[in-house]
Every structure is written in structure tokens, then in C-alpha cells.
Amino acid sequence: MPADLKPAAPVQLRHGSNAGQPQTRRDGLLKVTGRATYAADNHLEGMLYAVTAVSRIARGRVTSLDVDAAKAHAAVVEVLTPENCPRLAHDPDVKMPYFGFRIEVLQNDNVRYVNQPIALVIAETLEAAIEGAALLNPQYAEEPARTGLDNGEHFAAAAVGVGGPPRTAHGDIDRGFAAAKHVTEADYVTPAQYHNAMEPHAVVAQWDGDHLTLDMPNQALVLSCAGYAAYFGIPRENVLIRSPFLGGGFGSKAIINGPQILAIIAARMMKRPVKLALSRSQMYGPVGHRGQTWQKLRIGTDADGRLTALQHSTISATSSFDEFLESASNASLPLYDSPAIVSEHVGVRLDIGTPGPMRAPGEASGSAALEAAIDVAADACGMDPLEFRLKNYAETEPGTGRPFSSKALRECYTKGAKTFGWAARPLKPRQMRDDNGLLVGWGVGTAVFHCPHFPTAARATLRADGTALIETAGADMGQGAWTALAQIGAEALGLDPSKVEISIGVSSLPDGGVAGGSGHTASAGMSLHSAGKDAISQLTDIAVADPESPLFGAGNIGVVARDGRLYRSDDDNRGESYANILARAGRADVVGTAKAMRDPAIAEKHALFSHGAVFAEVKVDPDLGQVRVTRMVGAFAAGRIINPQLVRSQYFGGMIWGISFALLEEAITDKRTGRIMNADFAEYHVPVNADVPSLEAILIPESDPYLPLGVKGVGEIGITGTVGAIANAIWHATGVRARRFPIRIEDLVGGLLSVDVP
């Protein structure tokens, strides 16, 4: 860690731009110069290193560990096993509320999945800890692994996602299908996908009496403090988490996991700081992933191409010992106007680590299947896929009839189609080739994502020198919170953002909520905006009560804050700087505070979603079946945009993830052993630069009067329309409907040979 960045102090950044303007990332310079401090960059005096030894079987028991061999290593200090690992104050098999999962922390010798921690080696050096773990030579009593639908345990789910109902039904589904002229059915399989953020999970834990300090990547700082406190039986205020920078998160870093708890146990036992960082292969198991799904869609349409019924059924994989089910079928609830809709889920227990939230949980898997199936229904009606979507456009939320707080999806379709050139698309497949003889296809997918909101708090301090400090325990995992939140705070304070300092990433600050669900900017931004307004209100009270101020007596008229000055609302020539007001009052500062939560009545009365449309072009080799995505245009409507530059980056990231989902990304499991065969970056394929085509993201203006600040989320919506758009483009190029993701060459080659060329 560079000497000028001290791990004990909150990181504070300066500079900015007005809300709504493209602003370069405040943290960008620190990152590109290597001065941004990530968790594993912290090296504390007297620090030990911990490495987890992990199971190589999926189910059974550990019968022996050669602890003596490991401890014989000169630099190994201790080995934790179920025999000597302390018990926790909170039972790790009892789930905590909200984002709570059952975890494995050496409380017994049972093995539930491959890569489960079965011991922890603590050493003076990282190399010694790794070598000590290798010397343990575990022996097992192995049981057959349950790895798929054929041998997994099926069960009726109590909930899907984070507490959602497993079944939702609107209208009479049987009547809807009976009234249909066309009924189409399609089955889809989506794979297990594993979190592979550039920064693996890591923690540096240190105790001072019963006070615990954690340097770690974390998406939910204050919420996590309560969890760690419960596990170790200490007050929540005794836990401090420092997380100024995260090298990606995607949902996994909002959740407490077993290896982190083991490192904290080790630090308490050894009375020395302990660092633990998972290896890349160890990320495949204990820190969550996107669970596999098996989906079936049944769609009924009348003679005019209007939906009469939509049934979406999903089997979602989860672990043998916990429940987190991809809520894939719920993707069919908010989009298309059908008098009857059924969304239903069941679970299947496998010997795997528990799945968890992973970018657009539920919606990514569900929309991939839905958007592909919608194209099948459009084809059955002889309709253009975009025309079919517009024909079934929902003016109000399907099923509930609630009005949308705002919805500019028509504009997304229109602008996206025009930019892409959709009007030139032939209806039938296999009609287009490029100059090299490659088949060309065009596809469309609708994007949608809900707009959650988390309770947050913030503090804004106006200082006598005319600058300000805004504070909230927010998290920036690359989405741009350092920058966007500063822009919101500067706007509320009426200051040039270069005069506004922002502090986030430390749990001792006011609660910044959860950086997840595409809700962080809206949630933390609301409290920052309110705290800024509170500070301005206090400053106004001082000025209008001061006979020496040009604002004296302007309380009834009103005051406007702008460019570091307060002005009478009826006279732009009568104003005074913040610095002068505070100086005359003998004040060093005024401090505004706020707690913010969206009015629950808004969500009760309105449907809250961001929308978009993604258009994709693919080229397919007619002989080899090789697929390249060559062009994509996405048009998105997501309320008020705080920083267009950051938003485009998020849309691009989502669309690139869609390429990964559609064509590349998959954890391959050995069905005999339950081992993931490609648990590394070499064989777990994600897009590289050569896989990414020309991308264009169009920001559709949208005003939402019902949401705080008018802000919706942008982080996850980009993936939701992209996967289906690519699958549909492949059909348009080849005439072959892929039913599993990622779409493989072998899925296409047989069909390519059997489809008649027009």
C-alpha cells in the first residue's frame, strides 16, 4: 500500500461536476496510478496469513487431517479444524434476517460441497500457509454427489430470491389457453455462473479487546456490522468495516461468508491481525453464484397476435442445506399485457455451495428464456418480433393494473430500432449474408428491472471556508458511487462540486444502505440530498435572522442556494456567500443530517421499473456454427440520469455480460464427483476485447415524479434484454432455436445442416 494512503482513516476525495453532467470518476486517478487501497493491500504490523484448506468431494465427511504434518512446517502457527475451532455466539446454521445465509465455519466434519472450507492454516507467511494446507492430506467418507435434475432432491419452495413468493397468478390461465389460436411451448436451460470479480474476497481482521476492525470489500457496510457482531457476541458498534474500494461485487460482497468468519476467529485466537484472500478457484463455492435453472414457457395468442395466456415455470437449483432460488419466472410478470399470467417455481437440492444474488438475480436467467420464447410466439403468429412486442405492450402493470410511475419503453423500441436499422430486417430467417458468406441475423430483446430503495442516512457539513463535506457509508464497487453521490450532494448544497469532499466506504459513517439491486444511487443519494438541504436550511435561518445580512427578513420570501451563495428568491442581486454568513455568526460550520426512505405508498400504488430494448446483430459461419456478435444497440429509460458517462459504462457492462451469458459463461460440473472442472480464469470463459462488438447505449429521457430525485437504477438492466436479443438473432441467422445457454456450436451445427436454405 502506498505510504500516503493510511488504512486507518476514511478515504476522502475531491473534485466533481454538476448532477446530470458527464463527470470523470473521482477515484479514477487513484486506481490507474495504483494508489487505491483494496482489502488485501493492507499490511498490518505483526500480521499473520490464513489459507483455507477446502474439500475435494461434494458430499460426505472428513475422516482425517494430518494436522501434525502441517504444524511441523516451520512458519505454520496454528491449524483450525472442527476439533479446536471455537464455537460462535450465533449458530451458523441459523439464517440471519435479510441477506443471511447458512455458512460453513468448521463447526463439524460434514462436507456439503466441493471447495467448502474444512480447515484453516495460519502462518507467518502466505507461502507457509499455502504449503501447510497442502500438507493436511484430508481423507473422506464420500457419498454420491447430487449434481442435476436426475438425482437432486425436488422440493416445494417457501420463497424465491430474497423472500419473494414462489407462485404468482393473475387471471384464469386455463381459460386463456382455451381462447388461444396459437399455443407455443419452449424449454430453456440456464447454467450455473460464478462470481468472478477482479478482486477475490479478502479480509484483514484485527481485534482490540472486544472491538473488531475489518478491511474487506463490502457492499452493505452497516448491515454487515450487525451480522459480524452477532456471530461474535459483541455490540454492533464494536465492529468497524473499512471498504473504500471494491474490485467488483455483483451481489456476492453484500453477504457474510464462511472464510471471512474463519479469518476473524483466527485473529481473535492468535491476538494478532490476520489476512485471508481466496484464490480464484476457491471463489467457486463459498461466496455464492447464479444457480442453474430449467424453465418452461407456454404462451397463448389470439388471431390478432395478442396474448391470451402466459405461463412461466422454473426449477431452480439450490444447495442441500440452504435455499436461494433464482426467481426466473418472475421475469414474465411486469412486461407483456396478458389477461392471464402464472409465474411458478420449485427447487432442487444439489451438493453445491448455496447460490446467491448475482447481477440481475432472477431477471437475467428469466428474461433470457422469456425473450427467446416471445420470439417463438411472434413467429407462430407470422409477426415481426418488434411488432409483436408493441402489440402486447402493457400500459399498466399486468395482473395488478397499477400504473407505472413512468414508462418510456415505446421510445426505447422506437429509437433503438431506428438507430439499429431494424426496418430493413427480413421476417424469415437465413435471408441475410455478408460479403464473406456468413449468415447474418438480427434480434431484439426487452429489458426491464425493478427499482428498489433501501433506508439510508447521511451527513452534510458546510464549512466556514466555503467548502463542504458529505458523508455516508456507501460502497463503490466500480459503478461510480464516489462520483455520482458527490454530484447529488453538491447539487443539494448549491456548490461547485470541486468544493465538495465526499467520504464513503467506512461503516462508522451514517448508514449508506446496500450497494445492490441497482438501488444505491437512488437510496444513498436521497439521504445525501436531504442532508444537504438540511444544512442549507440551517444556514438560511442564520442569515435571515441577521440584521447585517442582505438576506435579513427574507424568511417569508424564500432563499435560493446557488454557487456557494444564498440569494433572495425574488432578487438575484441580493445574496451572500456561505463563508460570510458563517464568519459573521462565529460558526465553524453547520451540519445537516438526514435519514431517508421512499414512501412505501409509492410502491403500493405504482409499478416501479426501468425499461429498455436491446438490438443485436450476429454472424454465423454456416459450416462451422461459430457465432460472433458483431453489433448491439441498447436504448434504456431509467429516470433521471445523474452522470451520463457512468450510466453508459453500466449499460455497456450489462450488455457485455449478456454476451457472456448467451455465448460463453458456464460452470461445468463433473457429474460423478460434483467438482467444477473450469474453476479458473483460463477455462471459465468470459468476454475479452475481441468478443465485444460495436456497442451503442442510448439514454432515453424519462421523468419520474414519484421516485426520490427521479432516479432509477441502471446497473443490472443491461443484461436483461441482451441475452434474448442474441439468441433471437442467432435464430434469424440460422433458423435454429437454441434451448440452452450458453449457446454452443454443437447446438447449431445439426440444425444448420437440416434447415432448408430459402
- Ordered DSSP codes for 498-540: GGEEEE-SBTTSSB---S-TT-HHHHHHHHHHHHHHHHHHHHH
Q: How confident is the model at residue 6 (pLDDT cuts 50, 70, 90)?
A: very low
Both 467 and 499 in a single domain? yes
d(CA 723, CA 741): 9
**pLDDT digit string (tens) for 493-526?**
999 888 999 999 999 999 999 999 999 999 999 9
| Those residues with Cβ within 8 angstroms of residue 603's Cβ, 6 or more apart along the chain or in another chain | none
Residue 14 lies in a domain: no
| Rg, Å, the chain Cα set | 28
The beta strands (E) that lie in 681-738 are given as 694-699
Q: Are 40 and 117 in contact (CB under 8 A)?
A: no
- 582: domain CATH number is 3.30.365.10
pLDDT at position 714: 96
Last residue of a domain, one of 544, 568, 597: 597
Both 534 and 650 in a single domain? no
Residue 642 lies in a domain: yes
Three cell numbers, residue 182: 396459437
Q: Which residue has the cell 487513484?
A: 30
Q: What is the number of structural domains in the chain?
A: 3
Both 237 and 251 in a single domain? yes
Both 550 and 609 in a single domain? no
Residue 2 lies in a domain: no
Q: Which of 556-560, 693-697, 754-758 has the highest mean pLDDT?
A: 693-697
Three cell numbers, residue 190: 440456464
Taking the alpha carbons at both ends of the chain, their separation in whole angstroms is 63
Both 696 and 643 in a single domain? yes
| Those residues with Cβ within 8 angstroms of residue 237's Cβ, 6 or more apart along the chain or in another chain | none
Residue 28 lies in a domain: no
Please say if the pLDDT value at position 14 is more than 60. Answer: no
189-224: burial string, b at 16+ Cβ within 10 Å, e else: ebbbbbbbbebbbbbbbbbeeeebbbbbbbbbbbbb
Both 114 and 230 in a single domain? yes
| Those residues with Cβ within 8 angstroms of residue 592's Cβ, 6 or more apart along the chain or in another chain | 459, 460, 461, 462, 530, 531, 532, 533, 534, 535, 536, 537, 538
d(CA 56, CA 758): 53
**Residue 585: exposed, middle, or buried by beta-carbon count in 10 A (0-12, 13-18, 19+)?**
middle
Residue 612 lies in a domain: yes
pLDDT at position 311: 98
Last residue of a domain, one of 226, 254, 279: 279
CA contacts within 13 A on the Cβ side of 694: 8
β pairing state of 110-111 and 307-319? unpaired
DSSP-derived secondary structure letter, 88: P
Sheet holding 76-80, edge to edge: 76-80, 117-123, 48-54, 274-277, 202-208, 211-215, 239-242
Q: Are 367 and 298 in contact (CB under 8 A)?
A: no
Peptide bond into 742 cis (omega under 30): yes
Count of CB atoms situated within 10 Å of the CB of 533: 17
**Cα 576–577–583 angle (5° rounding)?**
105
- Give residue 563's domain range: 456-597
Q: Can you give the pTM of this predicted structure?
A: 0.96
**pLDDT digit string (tens) for 350-397?**
999 999 999 999 999 999 999 999 999 999 999 999 999 999 999 999
Residue 201 lies in a domain: yes
Last residue of a domain, one of 565, 597, 629: 597
- The backbone torsions φ and ψ at residue 313, rounded to the nearest 5 degrees and listed phi first, read -120, 135
State how far the alpha carbon of 451 is from the alpha carbons of 101, 247, 406, 642, in Å.
Answer: 24, 24, 11, 16
Catalytic residue flag (residue 716)? yes
Residue 667 lies in a domain: yes
Both 639 and 693 in a single domain? yes
Q: Worst-scoring range by mean pLDDT, 218-227, 691-700, 748-757?
A: 748-757
**pLDDT digit string (tens) for 590-644?**
999 999 999 999 999 999 999 999 999 999 999 999 999 999 999 999 999 999 9
β pairing state of 274-277 and 289-290? unpaired
**pLDDT digit string (tens) for 140-191?**
999 999 999 999 999 999 999 999 999 999 999 999 999 999 999 999 999 9
> 142, 683, 716, 746: which one is catalytic?
716
Instruction: State CA 87 to chain mean position distance.
Output: 32
Count of CB atoms situated within 10 Å of the CB of 148: 14
Both 520 and 581 in a single domain? yes
Both 211 and 259 in a single domain? yes
Residue 8 lies in a domain: no
Both 548 and 670 in a single domain? no
Both 245 and 365 in a single domain? no
Q: Which helix (H) or strand (E) holds 63?
A: strand 60-64
In DSSP notation, 211-260 reads EEEEE---S-HHHHHHHHHHHHT--GGGEEEE-S--S--TTGGGS--HHH
Both 120 and 228 in a single domain? yes
